[in-house]
């Protein structure tokens, strides 16, 4: 998958400003930071973030001929207003999987192609979900902290955890990540069920039509879906009540899928048994009430952050850009249905 | 029903086929009980059986031993040698675990010892040979803890490779700033090398397969599996990204992971120990980690628990656990019930549930 990165290939469209085509970067995402040298070698990177000019002036002065933009997802929003300021734009390259920051309908209307990084992050995210699950049940991070502060000789018996095997795991969103996660947790003797936008005919797991139904039949609820208007705050008090005081919530999707304020309250009041979170509503802000809890595992949005995944993502990003500038088919184009 | 009552009250006598005759004998008070063939109602007799518990290991187990037997708590005795000589005649059972079991000295000091029931699957703290010589039975707790230990092994692998504990500590410190990140290494697809393909080793392999990890192993003998076998641990280590110790501790497997194996595993390799501390040359392991010659380690066991080498405390590429391999409510209760079940079976002259010797 992806094209070999070959500096000798001269398939680029020659641009007025030199040999290398323009590539607009409003804010440097993590992929750009890691592979900046590679991008600089092949493109005339328009670093809007380094300019003292206000953005609209910068775009007016420098980006009127830019045909491609590489965008991160944390702050950047590809809106109709932005697209108005980029008359030559024909390609939006997202540096990750999610594209909820991109107005796909407007891009489609303007004939602008959009690519994401396909499936490259799903394996590591699924792995991470399993790691968080085992950690919160078996108290791995708490036990490691216990040993490191020298408590073991003083308190010979660290509190026992809970067995993974036999737990009912409810997966919210049986997409690329959810499917891989399901396969993994089954190997530990967990029983998998799911809720998804639509029932997956080929999936051998029990389907529940609502998240509340799923939660009421689960010991562990794992969020693997994407963030959309329909999934914002889908994990709310009703769902947490259904999950119950022995239930555990794991979020490896997006922070706003969960009503965070309610979740924190439920954890502090012991209305659910524990949680593991890789994502939050307002990253990097994490509710400090969580810091003192022994039944949570907290992670700074790194579920997909491996060298292997980043390199695979880089290959897809570069592959899409190479294809675009060589007038070939894009590797991972999205439609408005994505 | 008469058959059942007869079995309990007069098993040493032949039961008359006519129920009335049998009933007459049962109610006649002429039954005599021979202590060699008959055990009176279990509860009454077992109250007097001395059971020596070697160290604190589980509250439920301790309470039940106290309730059902005459419990002696070894760790509360200020003068242990004196205690042993005083109580030697009463103690007929020892309950040990991974920390303290039954050494040859202890066995010799307890002439009425009949059974050692271990709250563990590992038997490295029991002198099995001496037990055999003296006709002392030994039981352990296999199978009930297999899943938990295997789960923990995979949990350790993920925690080390993906730096989960480091991440948790980082977030709790309040230091998380956007744009601050580190890339770790993928777990799926990593080559797993298992030392010891017994119950636990196999359970680890089955879980790792769900992550598309290629599995190899070393064992005393080749097993009937499709996993790749290596006849030497060094070769196994050379061909693994993650080496996990899952064998029993014996004189042969002590320090099975030594300098040579650690070198073969290398600066990108990770060692996972859910066996016993003495499986590893701990000093060599610490040096290799501190000097960067070994990529990382996930350790649930140490040479001298609860002591853990402090040079490891500052390392981000290690995860350190206080021997919690079987540490779940469900499993500890199952283990305790096995210990109790084995003791009751023995003292009721019934077949042991999980005998080793």
pLDDT of residue B355: 97
- Name the residue facing A307 among B185, B319, B332 (closest C-beta): B185
Residue A35 φ/ψ, nearest 5 degrees: -115, 25
pLDDT of residue A312: 98
pLDDT of residue A3: 45
Count CB neighbours of B179 within 10 A: 12
CA distance linking residue B216 with residue A301, whole number of Å: 33
Burial class of B47 by CB neighbour count within 10 A (0 to 12, 13 to 18, 19+): exposed
B102 or A2: which leads in pLDDT = B102
CA-based torsion, B74, B77, B78, B80: positive or negative: negative
pLDDT of residue A334: 93
Mean pLDDT (chain B) is 92
Stated pTM of the model: 0.89
The residue count of chain B comes to 357
pLDDT of residue B37: 46
For B207, name the nearest residue in chain A, comparing CA atoms only: A187
Residues 8-27 of B with CB under 8 A from A: none
The label of the residue with tokens 């549930």 reads B353
- Contact between B162 and B186 under an 8 Å Cβ cutoff? The reply is no
Size of interface A-B (CB pairs under 8 A): 182
Q: What percent of chain B has pLDDT over 90?
A: 86
CA-based torsion, B115, B119, B123, B125: positive or negative: negative
Q: Do residue A158 and residue B158 have CB atoms under 8 angstroms apart? A: no
Candidates B276, B279, B332, B346; catalytic one: B276
Q: Which ranges of chain A have pLDDT less than 70?
A: 1-18, 336-338
Does residue B286 sit in helix, strand or coil?
helix
Distance from CA of A108 to the nearest CA of B (A): 31
Q: Give chain A positions within 8 Å (CB) of B322.
A: 143, 146-147, 152, 158
Burial class of A101 by CB neighbour count within 10 A (0 to 12, 13 to 18, 19+): middle
> Does B36 have pLDDT greater than 80?
no
- Contact between A34 and A306 under an 8 Å Cβ cutoff? The reply is no
CA distance linking residue A236 with residue B149, whole number of Å: 35
Residue B2 confidence class, pLDDT cut points 50, 70, 90? confident
B168 Cβ under 8 Å from any chain A Cβ = yes
CA distance linking residue B105 with residue B110, whole number of Å: 9
Distance from CA of A187 to the nearest CA of B (A): 5
Residue A315 φ/ψ, nearest 5 degrees: -60, -40
Q: What is the pLDDT of residues B291-306, one digit of tens each?
A: 999 999 999 999 999 9
Candidates A50, A261, A283, A338; catalytic one: A283
Q: What is the pLDDT of residues B203-244, one digit of tens each?
A: 999 999 999 999 999 999 999 999 999 999 999 999 999 999
Q: What is the pLDDT of residues B72-88, one digit of tens each?
A: 999 999 999 999 999 99
Average pLDDT over residues B94-116: 97
Does residue B62 sit in helix, strand or coil?
helix
pLDDT of residue A195: 98
The label of the residue with tokens 């989960």 reads B164
Does residue B293 sit in helix, strand or coil?
coil
User: What residues does B117 pair with on adjacent strands?
Assistant: B95, B139
Q: What is the pLDDT of residues B254-277, one digit of tens each?
A: 999 999 999 999 999 999 999 999
ipTM of the complex: 0.91
Q: What is the pLDDT of residues B175-201, one digit of tens each?
A: 999 888 999 999 999 999 999 999 999
CA distance linking residue B192 with residue B205, whole number of Å: 8
Residue B298 φ/ψ, nearest 5 degrees: -120, 115
């Amino acid at each position: 998958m992806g094209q070999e990165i070959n500096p000798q290939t001269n398939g680029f469209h020659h641009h007025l400003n030199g040999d290398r085509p323009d590539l607009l970067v409003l804010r440097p995402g993590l992929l750009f930071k890691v592979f900046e040298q590679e991008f600089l070698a092949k493109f005339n990177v328009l670093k809007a973030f380094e300019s003292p000019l206000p953005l609209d002036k910068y775009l007016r002065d420098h980006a009127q001929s830019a045909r491609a933009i590489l965008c991160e997802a944390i702050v950047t929003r590809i809106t109709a207003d932005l697209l108005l300021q980029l008359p030559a734009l024909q390609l939006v390259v997202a540096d990750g999987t999610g594209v909820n920051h991109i107005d796909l309908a407007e891009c489609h209307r303007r004939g602008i192609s959009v690519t994401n990084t396909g499936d490259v992050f799903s394996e590591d995210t699924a792995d991470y979900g399993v790691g968080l699950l085992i950690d919160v049940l078996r108290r791995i991070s708490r036990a490691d902290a216990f040993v490191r502060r020298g408590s073991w000789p003083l308190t010979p018996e660290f509190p026992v955890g809970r067995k993974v095997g036999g737990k009912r795991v409810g997966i919210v969103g049986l997409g690329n990540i959810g499917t891989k996660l399901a396969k993994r947790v089954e190997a530990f003797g967990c029983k998998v069920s799911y809720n998804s936008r639509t029932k997956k005919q080929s999936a051998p797991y029990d389907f529940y039509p609502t998240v509340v139904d799923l939660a009421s039949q689960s010991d562990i609820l794992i969020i693997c879906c994407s963030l959309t208007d329909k999934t914002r705050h889908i994990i709310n008090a009703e769902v947490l009540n259904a999950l119950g005081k022995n239930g555990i919530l794991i979020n490896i999707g997006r922070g706003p899928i969960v009503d965070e304020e309610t979740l924190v309250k439920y954890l502090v009041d012991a209305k659910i048994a524990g949680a593991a979170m890789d994502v939050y509503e307002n990253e990097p802000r994490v509710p400090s009430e969580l810091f003192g809890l022994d039944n949570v595992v907290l992670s700074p949005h790194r579920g997909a952050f491996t060298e292997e995944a980043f390199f695979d993502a880089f290959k897809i990003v570069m592959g899409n850009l190479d294809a675009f500038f060589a007038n070939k088919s894009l590797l991972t184009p999205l439609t408005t249905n994505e | 029903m008469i058959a059942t009552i007869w079995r309990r009250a007069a098993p040493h006598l032949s039961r008359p086929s006519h129920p009335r005759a049998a009933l007459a004998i049962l109610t006649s008070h002429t039954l005599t009980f021979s202590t060699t063939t008959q055990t009176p109602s279990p509860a009454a007799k077992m109250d007097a059986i001395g059971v020596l518990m070697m160290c604190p290991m589980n509250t439920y187990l301790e309470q039940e031993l106290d309730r059902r037997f005459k419990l002696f708590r070894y760790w509360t005795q200020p003068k242990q040698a004196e205690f042993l000589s005083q109580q030697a005649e009463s103690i007929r059972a020892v309950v040990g675990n991974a920390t303290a079991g039954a050494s040859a000295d202890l066995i010799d000091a307890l002439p009425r010892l009949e059974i050692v029931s271990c709250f563990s699957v590992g038997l490295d703290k029991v002198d099995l040979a001496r037990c055999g010589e003296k006709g002392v039975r030994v039981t352990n707790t296999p199978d009930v803890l297999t899943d938990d230990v295997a789960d923990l092994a995979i949990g350790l692998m993920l925690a080390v490779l993906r730096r989960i504990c480091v991440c948790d500590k980082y977030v709790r410190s309040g230091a998380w700033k956007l744009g601050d990140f580190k890339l770790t290494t993928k777990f799926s697809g990593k080559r797993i090398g298992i030392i010891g393909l017994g119950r636990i080793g196999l359970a680890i392999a089955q879980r790792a397969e769900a992550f598309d990890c290629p599995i190899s192993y070393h064992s005393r003998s080749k097993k009937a599996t499709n996993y790749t076998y290596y006849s030497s641990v060094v070769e196994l280590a050379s061909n693994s990204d993650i080496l996990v110790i899952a064998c029993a501790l014996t004189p042969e497997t002590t320090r099975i992971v030594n300098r040579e194996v650690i070198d073969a595993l290398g600066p990108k390799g990770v060692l996972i120990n859910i066996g016993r501390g003495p499986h590893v040359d701990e000093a060599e392991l610490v040096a290799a980690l501190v000097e960067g010659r070994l990529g990382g380690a996930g350790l649930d066991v140490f040479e001298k628990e609860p002591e853990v080498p402090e040079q490891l405390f500052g390392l981000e590429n290690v995860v350190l656990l206080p021997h919690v391999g079987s540490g779940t409510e469900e499993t500890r209760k199952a283990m305790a019930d096995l210990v109790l079940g084995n003791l009751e079976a023995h003292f009721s002259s019934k077949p042991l549930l999980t005998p080793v010797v």
